Chains A and B, each alone.
Chain A
Amino acid sequence: MNTLFDKIWDAHVVQKIEDGPEQLYIDRLYCHEVTSPQAFDGLRERGVRCFRPESIICMPDHNTPTQDQDKPVSNPVSRAQLETLEKNCREFGLTYYGMNTPDNGIIHVVGPEKGLSLPGMTIVCGDSHTSTHGAVGAVAFGIGTSEVEMVMASQCILQQKPGTMRISIDGRLGKGVTAKDMALYLMMKLTTGGATGYFVEYAGSAVRALSMEGRLTLCNLSIEMGARGGLVAPDETTFEYLKGRQYAPKGEDWDKAVEYWKTLKSDEDAVFDRELHFNAEDIPPMITYGTNPGMGMAVDGCIPMSSPSKPLDYMGFRPGQKLLGHPVDYVFLGACTNGRIEDFRAFASVVKGRKKAGNVTAWLVPGSWAVDRAIREEHLDEVLEDAGFELRQPGCSACLAMNDDKIPAGKYSVSTSNRNFEGRQGQGARTILASPYTAAAAAVTGVITDPRTLDVDFK
């Protein structure tokens, strides 16, 4: 009568501190350049080494430029942060995927695609979007830098066990509706703090029908409704995705692993602290209109009359306004949310045979070099180029604008990333979150457009 989350969590409890947190064993720690330097400093100050260095995988992604990665990084502060990670990895003997090497990319894209994130694992990273890895059936969550230091020093973390929530979505998603829309819809329903204190299991036929890429997108956005993390029980889709990946078990070990992974599901009579049900048919293509991801609506909807004024003033919108036809300045395809191959396929399917609108600057940033290679193998790069788009090099890019990819103040950006907070994509930038289909529709029409109104062969 246990939930999947309980099963994985409980199997990793080293001990419970009386009236306190649990000491949770961590199988995998990912580190990027932004939230790790102070943790390494902490280890040096305490005079300790990494307890299990083989479990730690590091790569830069936040500061990496998306052009000319073979040249020195121009911003000296970014460059220093990138170099610090490399130096720390060398000093502490950690696996490091350097910028502009075939293994590099956004940490949450690279982990699953290399088979480093596996069902049943506990996975952490100093990054809130670590929830992404829950898609493989793992307990994965974001932590702060002090906690990164804890895991480096002891392979453990002290955590209060969150509550359990199951969100079931049944039925079939409509044409042109994606996992991103599903997540934006859930955030709209739950608000940005609605799942705070909970770990979410996504279930139901619409979730089962999602590809691995779709599940990664859905779990990625768990944090945007406040959840500690989100996961999907592993199934044939998961096994098929993981089989043959570099770090996935091989041969007999694979068979044994799958046998165990098949037991990783919530029991029939499992009791969740909270249960929610939604119908896939009710979910439209979504966009956001405000300054947190919970402020979403149907792409052809109107901004609620009850919206608070501060976010709308920032966005330059008014209550009751319809956004269809609203001019767009920038389109960003990428991020740990929508930087995978399926997202590029979706974008390409819309722009195929069309042309980028003259008023739109488009940044198309693959989530990893592996995604970039897949794009080229499938000749999607040619489709994109014919339509007037060019591919950039992998990294977090305009999702949080720590590199040079900043949206100018006052400009409207339709973005496949995860956050529309004030200034997130650049000081004064106005972000409208959307799926790759909706972003592509905006890119070719130059205005907010319902992708379903274009003649597209939606997969």
Chain B
Amino acid sequence: MKQKFEIIRSSCVPLKLDNIDTDQIIPARFLKSTTRDEKFYGDNLFRDWRYLPDGTPDPSFVLNDPRYGGEILLAGQNFGSGSSREHAAWAIAGYGFRVVIAGSFADIHRNNELNNFVLPVAVSEPFLSELFDTVLADPSAMVEVNVPEQKVTNLATGRSETFELNSFKKYCLMNAMDDIDYLLAHKSEIEKYEAGRLH
């Protein structure tokens, strides 16, 4: 959903695992829907970790832990690997997350998050590790993500780190504009390119 980003202050949901693939974020059997109904995907976010085979919530999974909540998901390295399914980003957004802070992101999923106004924030290993420590010790601990300054701050410790976001994407996020809006406004350049091609 297009929404403007400025500063987000929120508690976090810690999911301390590396290589979380998009099949876990949203299993393939939920990809048959032809709509973009974020609630449907959000309801099935991490479906097979979140629910036991009998359909009841698995109390050991963090999304079912009443102590944790907020608009920020914390995860380990290589978040969103595997399938290109944008449904994974829809599920994350549909659940109510606006930011994912992780050690690193898989390329396609990172783009999918950005295109759905979910902000992927890649942080260093020590910073991530401290964030997990803070949040696991105090589930109400707040983290601030400042988009204009590209800065993420662990408010409990005061430590902060800058994160990467190119100016174009930053402008898009802060102005609720997407890539297609941009491309549709630049049709003449595309035609010029086509006319000048050698091969």
**Chain A contact patch, size range:** 35 or more
CB of A284 closer than 8 Å to a CB of B: no
CB distance from B112 to the nearest CB of A (A): 4
A84 to B33, CA, bound (A): 10
Q: Is chain A's binding surface mostly helix, strand, loop or mixed?
A: loop
Pairwise interchain contact B34-A84, C-beta atoms closer than 8 A: yes
Q: Which residues of B contact A211 (CB under 8 A)?
A: none
Task: Known A144-B86, A146-B112; judge A158-B182 contact (CB<8 A).
Answer: yes
Bitwise interface map of B from 39 to 51 toward A, beta carbon under 8 Å scored 1, else 0: 0000000001000
> Given that A422-B48, A424-B23 are contacting pairs, would A144 and B83 also be in contact in the complex, using a CB cutoff of 8 Å?
no
**B residues in contact with A402, CB < 8 Å:** 28-29, 31-32
A21→B168 contact, CB < 8 A? yes
Known A-B contacts: A23-B186, A155-B190. Give 7 more (CB < 8 A). A19-B167, A21-B169, A127-B84, A154-B183, A158-B183, A197-B107, A419-B23
Partner-contacting stretch, out of B60-68, B74-82, B136-144: B74-82
What are 19 pairs between A and B in contact, CB < 8 Å?
A15-B189, A21-B168, A23-B186, A25-B190, A25-B194, A34-B32, A35-B84, A38-B86, A42-B180, A75-B32, A81-B33, A146-B115, A146-B178, A192-B78, A193-B81, A419-B23, A421-B23, A422-B23, A423-B48
Chain A, residues 133-153, CB within 8 Å of chain B (1/0): the string is 000000001111111011001
Say which residue of B89, B104, B111 sits within 8 Å of A143 (CB atoms).
Answer: B111
Cβ contact within 8 Å between B111 and A147: yes
Best-buried of A78, A226, A428 by chain B (most CB within 10 Å): A226
Of A77, A196, A197, A294, chain B has the most CB atoms within 10 Å of the CB of A196
A409 vs B53: C-alpha distance when bound (angstroms):
10
Closest to A18 in B: B167
A19 touches B166 (CB 8 A): yes
Interface flags for A114-134 (1: CB within 8 Å of B; 0: not) read 000000100000111010000
Within 8 A of B (CB), among A193-225: 193, 196-197, 223-224
Q: Which residue of B lies closest to A409 (CB)?
A: B53
Note all chain A residues with C-beta closer than 8 A to B179: 146-147, 150, 157-158
A77-B78 CB under 8 A given contacts A23-B183, A48-B184 = no
